[in-house]
Amino acid sequence: MSDTTVTPPVTPNANFKPRIFSGIQPSGNLTLGNYLGALKRFAQKQDEGIETIYCLVDMHAITVWQDPEALRRQTREAAAAFIASGVDPSKSILFNQSQVGAHAELAWLFNCTARLGWMNRMTQFKDKAGKNAEKASLGLYAYPALMAADILLYHATMVPVGEDQKQHVELTRDIANKFNHDFGVDFFPEPEPLIEGAATRVMSLRDGSKKMSKSDPSDASRINLTDDADTIAKKFRKARTDAEPLPEAVDGLSERPEARNLVNIYAALADMTQAQVVSEFAGKGFGDFKPALADLAVDKLAPISTEMKRLMDDVTEIDRILGKGAEQADAIARPIVEKTYDIMGMVRSR
């Protein structure tokens, strides 16, 4: 028998309480993609015994020009979408970012931790600024440090994100690791991205090769969470497809982007796998499948739009929920940012 002692691998976040953080920009017109890729999963996560913190990141929104009245309305509308989608303020902390000043404070500290080369590799700045990079705001360039602050301010260990945001979680891990190494501490966790579900990337109803987007000129390309039942049904019935029937196996969708997208959406709405959907509808044409998808979507989504309208008719309740959530968030965030100042050598009153 060997005398060699095997040391079990160290889990980077073993010393941290499991906690989920995620946020959405309140930039208006949340879509089915936001629901399936984020809001539906947020509601499910709050019942898994893990503390959940959800944020409307209005400070990220202002990296590009925002009309003040529109930003206020969109922030409340996004909060209404969270609540209508099942995020329960008695189970999760729900607030808007600007009400908790520690986000901006920690972002500056992380601006002094992150390296310029890291920021230069971030693809989203290049995508959003395009050829007008010299005219873009400094905030648009540096906002990944604010995103890292959003997450690490709560010592979050898990971050539900879409594939397009995974790079930002990786940067957050780099910042946490560098801070801990620079100051010889184990203070910030290295959060893990959570990418789950059949429809983490929902595509356009008019072009299965493009992501569903609120900025698409065609309203028919997307399902808005504010769409009523008739509009939802009409959009799915008119969704672009091909002439072939649904295949016997999922592999048969690989070269059929529109068909694959609609199957993914059905699977996500019905809490089924893609294989289960294909098995149920194998050999059937879209004349059968699209009405079934439309009925399912109306059943799942119409109550959300109805509840959002009710909440937006009197925003007093939304403002109260966001204010209470900000107080709960600040109670977690303030000690963490104060400890960060202390670790970095800044004098604090006792």
Catalytically annotated residues: 128, 211, 214
Residue written as tokens 């060997």? 2
Q: Where are the alpha helices (DSSP H) in the chain?
A: 32-34, 40-45, 58-61, 68-84, 102-111, 116-120, 123-129, 138-152, 166-183, 229-237, 257-270, 274-281, 286-312, 316-343
Residues 6 or more apart whose CB falls under 8 angstroms from that of 106 comprise 149, 152, 153, 333, 336, 337, 340
User: How far apart are the C-alpha atoms of 341 and 109, rounded to whole Å?
Assistant: 8
CA distance 60 to 118: 19
CB distance 74 to 30 below 8 Å: no
Question: Residue 201: CA atoms inside 13 Å, Cβ hemisphere, count?
Answer: 13
Residues with Cβ < 8 Å from 134, sequence gap 6 or more? none
Q: Cα–Cα distance between 266 and 273 in angstroms, integer?
A: 9
Please list the helix, strand and coil fractions of the chain in percent, rounded to the nearest 5, in that order. Answer: 55, 5, 35
Provide the token pair at 182: 């620079």
Residue 146's CB is within 10 A of a number of other CB atoms, namely 21
